[in-house]
């Protein structure tokens, strides 16, 4: 009986102890690490600031209003000389197939044929030009057919000297001008003869030019036969009065 009472007492005490342990506080353990997501700071939007103005030179100020539309103007230019249009230019060498004897040229153009300083090969080149009228007079006086490449008339003073050197020929320079000047005006038209890169002769002519009235200028340069091919070209210049 006594054992049963003791057993019952032990059982009761054990139940009380267990009940007291369950109701007591729980000892805290090691805390779990906390994962935190940092909040993104609000984006900083840069505010544009005006660049500091450079100092302007005295007397210059910036426009206060909106800029005007840019307008490009081109200054018109006008050729004061109103040079004529060179419609045609031709150089014809050796207007005679057969060379002209020196004696005949001395009679026809004594100031040219008898001049020791005449020609392209001179230290100072010296050439002359005759007009178309003078050339036609030469043809009528010294040729049988009054034309180029017809038989030359024999001269009594030239008997036996037909083959004597030097012999001669002509170079024809012909040009056609179409005036462009609005008002009639006088011009000096100069034909520049070039040889070996240099101007060896200049033949100026004064002419009154009127628009729509073409001008034909023809001249002939007497040359010794061995100098005919020394002419390279002819240029034309104009001077308005």
Segment 97-137, tens digit of pLDDT:
999 999 999 999 999 999 999 999 999 999 999 999 999 99
- pLDDT (0 to 100) of residue 82: 83
Q: Is residue 35's pLDDT more than 70?
A: no
Q: Is residue 19's pLDDT more than 70?
A: no
Q: What is the DSSP string of 67-114?
A: PPPP---------TT-PPEEEEEEEEE-SSSSPBPHHHHHHH-HHHHT
Q: What is the DSSP string of 137-174?
A: HHHHHHBTTSSTTSPBPP-GGGTT-TTPSP-EEEEEEE
Q: What percent of the chain is modeled with pLDDT above 70?
A: 65
Mean pLDDT check: name the lowest of 47-61, 98-112, 151-165: 47-61
Q: Considering only residues 45 and 12, tell me which one the structure prediction assigns the higher pLDDT.
A: 12
Q: What are phi and psi of 131, to 5 degrees?
A: -75, 170
Residue ranges of the domains in the chain?
A: 85-240
Q: Is residue 164's pLDDT more than 90?
A: no
Alpha-carbon distance 124 to 143, whole Å? Answer: 33
Q: Considering only residues 69 and 10, tell me which one the structure prediction assigns the higher pLDDT.
A: 10
Name the pLDDT band for 241 (thresholds 50, 70, 90): confident
- pLDDT (0 to 100) of residue 157: 87
Q: What average pLDDT does the segment 228-237 reach?
A: 96
Alpha-carbon distance 238 to 80, whole Å? Answer: 12
């Amino acid at each position: 009986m006594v054992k049963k009472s003791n057993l019952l007492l032990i059982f009761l005490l054990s139940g009380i102890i267990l009940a007291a342990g369950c109701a007591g506080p729980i000892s805290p353990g090691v805390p779990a690490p906390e994962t935190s997501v940092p909040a993104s700071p609000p984006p900083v939007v840069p505010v544009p600031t005006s660049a500091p103005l450079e100092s302007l030179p005295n007397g210059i100020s910036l426009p206060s209003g909106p800029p005007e539309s840019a307008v490009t103007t081109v200054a018109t230019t006008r050729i004061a000389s109103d040079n004529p249009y060179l419609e045609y230019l031709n150089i014809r060498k050796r207007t005679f197939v057969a060379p002209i004897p020196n004696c005949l040229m001395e009679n026809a153009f004594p100031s040219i044929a008898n001049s020791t300083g005449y020609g392209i090969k001179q230290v100072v080149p010296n050439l002359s030009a005759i007009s178309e009228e003078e050339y036609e007079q030469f043809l009528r006086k010294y040729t049988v057919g009054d034309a180029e490449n017809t038989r030359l008339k024999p001269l009594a003073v030239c008997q036996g000297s037909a083959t004597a050197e030097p012999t001669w020929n002509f170079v024809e320079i012909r040009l056609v001008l179409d005036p462009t000047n609005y008002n009639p005006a006088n011009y000096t038209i100069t034909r520049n003869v070039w040889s070996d890169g240099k101007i060896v002769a200049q033949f100026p002519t004064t002419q009154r030019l009127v628009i729509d009235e073409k001008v034909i200028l023809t001249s002939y340069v007497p040359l010794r036969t061995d100098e005919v091919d020394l002419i390279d070209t002819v240029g034309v210049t104009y001077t308005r009065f």
